[in-house]
Structure 1
Amino acid sequence: MYPTLLALHSLTRWLVLISLMYAIYRAYRGQHKHLPFTKFDNTVRHVTATIAHIQLTWGVWLYIISPLTEYFRDHFSTAVHDRQFRFFGMEHSLMMLTAVTLITIGSAKAKRQATDQQKFKTMVTWFTIALLIILSSIPWSFSPLISRPNFRPF
């Protein structure tokens, strides 16, 4: 089950990134061109938040069953000094939880704004901050600190 869940989490990362970048693009475009906030824009907002929540669910499940995070939890005093265990046991999970929280808040706030421009601005602001946190906390294949494959097989 662990390898399958890891592959799902890895695959869903790309859906999160694509949907988040597309939502930011739509919101930025709508804000600067003074476009109306359409039903499609609202759907993009909602789908982006939903994909982020699915990814968070995979991540929490992985956190519970992962041998890396189990070691981190069981041997905290020594594991916190090891980059790989600290990254997956603490840094990655906290940053991603923060990012999904920001996406959730931004989505909820945008939904409740009075004007279309406020909706777009709220999405741009909250989603962009979340995207930057996500980009800084993914274990990219090219990272000199913690490296993982960009695509995991099932």
Structure 2
Amino acid sequence: MYLLLLTLHSWGRWAVLLGLLWGLGQAYRGWWGGRSFTPLDDTLRHGVATLAHVQLTLGYGLYFVSPVTGAFHLRDAVHAPGALFFGLQHVLAMTVAVVVLTIGAALAKRRTPDAAKFRTMALWFSATLLLVFLAIPWPFLPWAPRPYFRL
């Protein structure tokens, strides 16, 4: 169970990142180019939020079965920065990122002029992407290195 969740969660990050980048590209092009908000744009807005929710759900499942977070105690976190990252920082930052994305997607849906929809989507998705980039356990991080792809 643990290895399956770990692999799905590891590969799911790329789907979320690609979806966010695609959504951002569409949002900024629509905002700056004066395009109309099409059903494809709306599907993309909703699809990226859905992907992020699935990824968060996989992450929560992983959080509760992982030996890394199972052994996490806040009082020992000073001596184990990797445990602190996965036990607190990663899950908290990613939860906040998905909340920000959800708020942005909901606000964009409710805006009436198309430029306002694109602007809202662009700004909130940008904030989400920043949070996600900061919270991913990249291979170059000294406290929590993880591979780009798990096999």
**Normalised by the shorter chain, which TM-score bucket?**
over 0.9
Residues 28-78 of structure 1, C-alpha deviations (whole Å, 9 max, x = no match) = 000000000000000000100000000000001011111111111xx3311
Q: Distance in 2 between matches of 1:93 and 1:48?
A: 19
State the match for 1:11 in structure 2: 11
Which of 80, 83, 87 in structure 1 is aligned with 2:81? 83
Q: CA RMSD in A?
A: 0.9
State the match for 2:107 in structure 1: 109
Amino acid at match of 2:76: T
Q: Distance in 1 between matches of 2:111 and 2:88?
A: 34
Matches within 5 A, 1:117-132: 117-132=115-130
Q: Identical aligned pairs, as a percentage? A: 48
TM (norm. structure 2) is 0.97
State the match for 1:27 in structure 2: 27
TM-fit CA distance, 1:18: 0.1
- Structure 1 residues not aligned, in runs of 5+: none
Matches within 5 A, 1:63-74: 63-72=63-72
- Structure 2 residues not aligned, in runs of 5+: none
TM (norm. structure 1) is 0.95
State the match for 2:139 in structure 1: 141
Residues 73-131 of structure 1, C-alpha deviations (whole Å, 9 max, x = no match) = xx331135410000000000000000000110000000000110010000000000010
- Report the count of equivalent residues: 151
